[in-house]
Chains A and B, each alone.
Chain A
Amino acid sequence: MQPDPNLYDYWPYKDRPRIVWPGGKKLAFWIAPNIEFYEFDPPTNPLRPSWPKPTPDVVGYSQRDWGNRVGHWRLMELLDRRGLRGSVSLNVAMCDHCPEIIDACKVRGWEFFSHGIYNTRFSYGMTEAQERAVIEDSIRTVESATGQRIRGYLAPALTHTERTLDLIAEYDFWYTCDLFQDDQPQPVKTRSGKLISMPYSLEVNDVIAYGVLAMDPWAYADVLKRHFDQLLEEGEDSGTVMCIPLHAYLVSQPHRIRAFEDAIAHITSHKDDVWFATGAEIAGHFRDHSWDSTLADISRRGLLRPGTGFGGGAA
């Protein structure tokens, strides 16, 4: 174990090289519905119980299933109305369990990225071979179901090992959603590949907002609008990224979804200044246009530290 992950260099927000999004836009906005499957009775990982309550947690299981049976369709219709494409944080076993959802997203041109196999299978304690198997399964499963080669990763239930980011970089992933250190992308220090940290946000994630922070539907809508307004203002100087990570089992609840749509309407009313993109589109643009200038700026400021994450990924 190491006290400092060394996955990225310290890079102060002030006076960075300017990011300009396509069309001269100031803010790249993306929306990430988590489409998840929580197993009823999963095998237990020694480091974390599968469910917060004793298994089976029928309320928890059935509420998450409600997200797929009911909530997903409400959220997808909302995004259709607002002309937004989702970037799906996908437990890839959903391709097997609920193919109707995958097909509906595919038809709409949504992007898929991997959120592991199930949200009840954690990475803690995996060998390198096991972790490779999960990544290869993710690539293969989504490609087979949708034709898409996934480029993004959010570790299942945010469970990592020291080698997770090295491995996805090696498999030519473009972005990780697992790091929360910034409102702009940044190169991740991996052994190989060209991986960026993508702003994803736990702060405006619906699980945190409605759950941990106990926000009511209208308070969450206000938070989203203010978050957006601030990042748009800062995007005048250098392009920012805003992501809204969502879970249909929460945001599509009947008392919440219209207040949420009100916030989305505010955001989509700023079409002149905002690039409505997917995760891979933002990552691709950054890799092509800002990767080199970012590294040069970090180096110029004398902030480049040697090595890569976790001392090269040894675990």
Chain B
Amino acid sequence: MTLDESYLAYPRRQRGQDIERYDWSPMEGRAAAKLAGDVKLAVSIVVPIEYFPLTPSGKPFRHPGAMVTPYPDLRHYTTRDYGNRVGAFRLLKAFAEAGVKATFAVNAILLDRSRPLIDAILADGHEIAAHGLSTDHIHHGGLTEAEERAYTDKTRAAFEAAGLRPRTWMSPARQESTRTPDLVRAAGFDICLDWEFDVAPVGLRTSCGPLVAFPLLSELDDRTLLTIKNHDESRWRDQIIEAAKYMRDEAATRGAECLSFTMTPYVAGQPFRMWAVKEILAALGAIDGASVVPVATHVDNFSTGNPQQ
């Protein structure tokens, strides 16, 4: 086997990024970001409301949490469904008790199927974001533009039909094609949760205007920490609280920062984990200068030292 000489050609070896979506801007030496009021730490809890079909195509890979055993995998289907029936309501109650507003990122296919949950989320004043069609509609480079545009258009149409006009988008599995930001912006979304390259919101360039990347930390993903890395609840709690305290302290010199992480209903909403959920919410509420509100609220309150497209 030999490698073609093109393997040693570096056409994008230049200052800054190797893509046009956004510009290189190191934290050191730039203007501090500011948030309205005295807020230093913009905390957002993202709650994925996901639909896992019994028959996943697995294209281009199985979404985290997708079916595992030979068909019919009732064990995983119902475990996931538990989140939308029970766990999400438990989280809603804990959020209400703590006075916290979150962002619920909903697979469009659930808008009809789980309408009572949607109504409960809306009644409590949380943000509803679009999370694509379902976990089996992953955006990726193997789709044609027409196929992918159908995903974003159908998602938008489903939310419209449900009487909802979400601004915030999260791709299923946070996977994209090279054109996803263009299609998402074209479908009327102006905030995206797939990119996590900064501590503040940054506008991505798209073919139809800016799409604000709001960083959601994959390293604090509850499904990963609790079900894949097998951290116990106290360590999950400790890591989120430590992140919040560290960033709050750093914000004193670096400017306002965002901390966003997931609470997945079938994971965080288990009965034996609710004590940790409640302690996380209480600890975040006690941090001076932290505000726990939906992503879109933070985005509107930010002015950053980052170049905006």
Contacts and interface: CB of A to CB of B under 8 A. Distances in A.
B309 to A, nearest CB: 15
Contacts of A133: 8
Interface stretch (B227-235, B274-282, B288-296): B227-235
Contacts of B178: 41, 56
Contacts of A97: 13-18, 24
Contact of A69 (B8, B12, B27): B27
Contacts of A72: 26
A204 B6 CA distance: 36
A111 to B, nearest CB: 20
B58 interface: no
Contacts of B5: 130
A40 B228 contact: no
Nearest to B14: A96
A34 B41 CA distance: 29
Nearest to A52: B61
B1 interface: yes
Contact of B2 (A63, A121, A127, A257): A127
In this complex, the interface size class of chain A, counting residues with CB under 8 Å from chain B, is 35 or more
Interface stretch (A43-51, A176-184, A273-281): A43-51
A234 interface: no
Interface stretch (B49-57, B108-116, B158-166, B217-225): B217-225
Contact of B246 (A98, A125, A218, A255): A255
A124 B3 CA distance: 8
A253 B175 contact: no
A134 interface: yes
Interface in A87-138: 93, 96-101, 104, 117-118, 121, 124-127, 130, 133-134
A140 interface: no
B194 interface: yes
> Which of B1, B5, B197, B246: most chain A Cβ within 10 A?
B197
Given A62-B196, A96-B14, A217-B242, A54 B7 contact: no
B235 A98 contact: no
Nearest to A92: B13
Contacts of A47: 1
Contacts of A93: 10, 13
A68 B18 CA distance: 14
A56 B177 contact: yes
A58 interface: yes
B25 interface: yes
Contacts of A255: 219-220, 238-240, 242-243, 246
A254 B290 CA distance: 15
B240 A98 contact: no
Interface in B227-271: 228-231, 235, 238-240, 242-244, 246-247, 250, 259
B273 interface: no
Interface in A9-36: none
Given A55-B141, A59-B174, A254 B243 contact: yes
B176 interface: yes
B2 A53 contact: no
Contact of A96 (B15, B194, B198, B199): B15
Nearest to B196: A62
B26 A121 contact: no
Nearest to A250: B219
B140 interface: yes
B10 A258 contact: no
B195 interface: yes
Contact of A254 (B25, B197, B246): B246
A228 B11 CA distance: 43
Contacts of B246: 254-255, 257-258
Nearest to A137: B8
13 contacts: A41-B19, A45-B3, A59-B174, A59-B194, A62-B215, A74-B250, A97-B14, A100-B28, A121-B7, A130-B8, A210-B219, A253-B243, A254-B259
Given A40-B18, A124-B3, A126-B7, 11 more contacts: A41-B19, A45-B3, A58-B180, A63-B197, A66-B196, A66-B215, A98-B24, A121-B8, A210-B219, A254-B243, A254-B246
Please give me the 3 A-B residue pairs with the lowest Cβ-Cβ distance, nearest first: A214-B229, A254-B243, A255-B243
Interface of A: 37, 39-41, 43, 45-47, 53-59, 61-63, 65-66, 68-70, 72-74, 93, 96-101, 104, 117-118, 121, 124-127, 130, 133-134, 210, 214, 216-218, 250, 253-259
